[in-house]
Amino acid sequence: MGTTWTNWSRTASATPHRVERPTSAEQIAEAVAAAPAIRPRGSGHSFTGIAVAPGAALDLDAWTGLVEVSGTLVTVRSGTTLRQLNALLDDLGLAMANLGDIDAQTIAGAISTGTHGTGAEFGGLATQVAALELVLADGSLVRCSADERPELFHAARVGLGALGVISTVTLRCVPSFVLHAREYRDRLDPLLERFDHLTAVEDHVEFHWFPHGDWVMVKRNNRVDEPPAPMSDLRRFYEYELMQNGAYGLVCGLARAVPPASRALSWMCGALTGKRVHRDVSHRVFTTPRRVRFVETEYAVPRAALHDVLRELRAVVARLDHGVLVPVEVRVAAGDDIWLSTAFGRDTAYVAVHQFLGMPYRRYFDAFERIAGAVGGRPHWGKMHRLDAAALRERYPHFDDFRRVRAEVDPEGKFGNAYLDRVLG
């Protein structure tokens, strides 16, 4: 009997019958072929039950590192975390073209759930994938790319772990680059008036809105041909460990203990947001440590609908009977052609809604889901949502194509679990 596993946000847990820890592709294949039901579980950074293993769990912590480097094409084992990958690429003078703000996920888990960063000209992490190797339900190891088994490739880049176990990922990387980072406090309405212009002329723009007021923290990261001028280790510790995690965590804990104070504390956090300007290698700007735990839902909405969504969300927050401590995060991405990508076929705005762990969130999240759903929003596969296969089919033109490929490569549903039953049928 395996020990109980819990995800990062403590919203999902499982006690698998056994845990397999392979150290080779052959061992992955053997474990898959022998098990009637098995799930890879990554690093547990999804907020849904997507990684819950009802039978055997596949832990790929020991299946990490580089396999091959050919120019800017880099093949990496699937259990490699983004933090590990960034360090390996740095040593090669390479980088991922874009990243999200958390680096704890495995590369396979990140692409399989549709992880993304921000940038109007950039897609999610899965758009950087050139090829995949997967272990299918019968234990066979297959390769797919745009030219080799292209339908499987279209499906598997954001595959939810439903098609097989990813063994290796080949990434299109770029030469290492430096980002000039500017972070500062602004007001929501003036920022929204400029937001379309900012996203058009700057590389990576996002903002975090503190919802019991109009304070926002803006992040503008641009590629520059200049040497790094990073924060000192002391300044970085102060900004990210002491303030962004330590002090902020204490404020959130106080709000949970004294709920009537939560709105004022949220406003205070926004009003006290400071200013940071620095230059550093890309992954040290894109990603920051996140130790304050929260729950989250996120929807991808058409870019043109962003202002309406935020206007309605502001009205919802004003009517809530509880406070919201964690800011709303807004990012953008270019449309892509990946079947279950949340940005499939359209330029996209991402609106992520959070709440500090242990505080009420259901009414808030449900209201946001209704707002996003009214404009055809698509939920992030790794974040909390209530949609089922019938609703999702209407939002993904290739939904039935994905189901067809799944039936071909996993006819008995070996890789299924309750979450996949709900979202895929």
Per the document, the length of the chain is: 425
Closest CA to 160 of 294, 241, 49: 49
* Beta pairing class for 348-356 and 294-302: antiparallel
Return the structure tokens found at 263.
Answer: 């709105």
Mean pLDDT of 327-347: 98
Q: Which residue has the tokens 């960063």?
A: 117
Q: How far is CA 380 from CA 72, 164, 351, 384, in A?
A: 29, 20, 10, 8
Percent pLDDT > 70 in the chain is 100
pTM for this predicted structure? 0.96
Mean pLDDT of 19-40: 97
Lay out the sheet containing 129-135: strands in order across: 66-70, 73-77, 165-172, 129-135, 141-145
**Please, which pLDDT band fits residue 1 given cuts at 50, 70 and 90?**
low
Residue pLDDT, tens place only, 239-284 = 999 999 999 999 999 999 999 999 999 999 999 888 999 999 999 9
**Please, which pLDDT band fits residue 338 given cuts at 50, 70 and 90?**
very high
Closest CA to 11 of 41, 45, 48, 57: 48
The pLDDT, as a whole number, for residue 274 is: 86
Closest CA to 41 of 58, 61, 65, 24: 58
